Amino acid sequence: MALLLVLQPGWSAAQPQDGAAAPRTNGVTNTPPATNKPRGTSTSKPTPTFPVRGGRAPDGDTYSQPTSIARTPKNHPTETYTGRQPAGPRGGGPNGGLIGGAAAAGGIIGLGLYLHARNQPAPKLARDGPKMPDQYSMSNFSVGAFVQANWPVVVDHVLSNGGELTIVITAQGFPTFRYRIPATGRRRQEIFRLPPYFPARPTPGMYTISATNATPGVATPVYMRLFGMGAGERAVGSVAIDQVKFGPDTIHPKQKQEAVYAFHAHTDFDKVRAEFMKAATEQGQIVAKLEDHADINGVQRETTPSHQWNGKKASPGEHLLQVRAWESVLAKSNWVIAWSADQVSVEE
- Cα separation, 98 vs 45, in Å, equals 47
- pLDDT score for 276: 98
Mean pLDDT of the chain: 80
pLDDT of 124 > 80? The answer is: yes
The number of CA neighbours under 13 Å toward the Cβ of 185 is 3
Please, what is the Cα angle at 313 between 309 and 319, to 5 degrees?
Answer: 65
Nearest to 142 by CA among 211, 207, 212: 207
The CATH number of residue 307's host domain is: 2.60.40.2060
pLDDT of 24 > 90? The answer is: no
Q: Residue range 212-229: average pLDDT?
A: 91
33, part of any domain: no
- As a whole number of Å, the CA-based R_g of the chain is 19
The count of structural domains within the chain is 1
- Is residue 45 classed as helix, strand or coil in its secondary structure? coil
What backbone torsions phi and psi does residue 260 show, to the nearest 5 degrees? -115, 135
As a whole number of Å, the end-to-end CA separation of the chain is: 40
267, part of any domain: yes
pLDDT of 10 > 80? The answer is: no
Q: Residue range 241-249: average pLDDT?
A: 97
8, part of any domain: yes
Residue 66's alpha-carbon distances to 109, 228, 300, in angstroms, are 34, 21, 6
**Bigger pLDDT: 58 or 122?**
122
- Residue 284 near residue 223 (C-beta atoms within 8 A): yes
- Cα separation, 286 vs 249, in Å, equals 18
63, part of any domain: no
- Residue 285 near residue 212 (C-beta atoms within 8 A): no
Give the residue numbers spanning the domain of 202: 2-17+83-346
pLDDT digits (tens, 9 = 90+) for 145-178: 999 999 999 999 999 999 999 999 999 899 999 9
| Lowest mean pLDDT segment, chosen from 67-71, 218-222, 229-233 | 67-71
305, part of any domain: yes
288: CB partners within 8 A, 6+ apart = 94, 135, 136, 137, 138, 277, 278, 279, 320, 322
Residues β-bridged to residue 289: 135, 278
- Is residue 348 classed as helix, strand or coil in its secondary structure? coil
329: CB partners within 8 A, 6+ apart = 55, 57, 126, 270
Q: Which helix (H) or strand (E) holds 158?
A: strand 152-159
- With bands split at pLDDT 50, 70 and 90, how would you rate the model's confidence at 21? very low
pLDDT digits (tens, 9 = 90+) for 280-332: 999 999 999 999 999 998 899 999 999 999 999 999 999 999 999 999 998 99
Instruction: Give the Cβ contact number of residue 136 at 10 Å.
Output: 25
pLDDT of 32 > 50? The answer is: no
71, part of any domain: no
25, part of any domain: no
pLDDT digits (tens, 9 = 90+) for 43-94: 333 333 333 344 554 545 555 556 665 676 667 778 899 999 999 887 654 4
The number of CA neighbours under 13 Å toward the Cβ of 191 is 16
The number of CA neighbours under 13 Å toward the Cβ of 113 is 7
Cα 83 from chain centre: 17
Amino acid 178 reads R
66, part of any domain: no
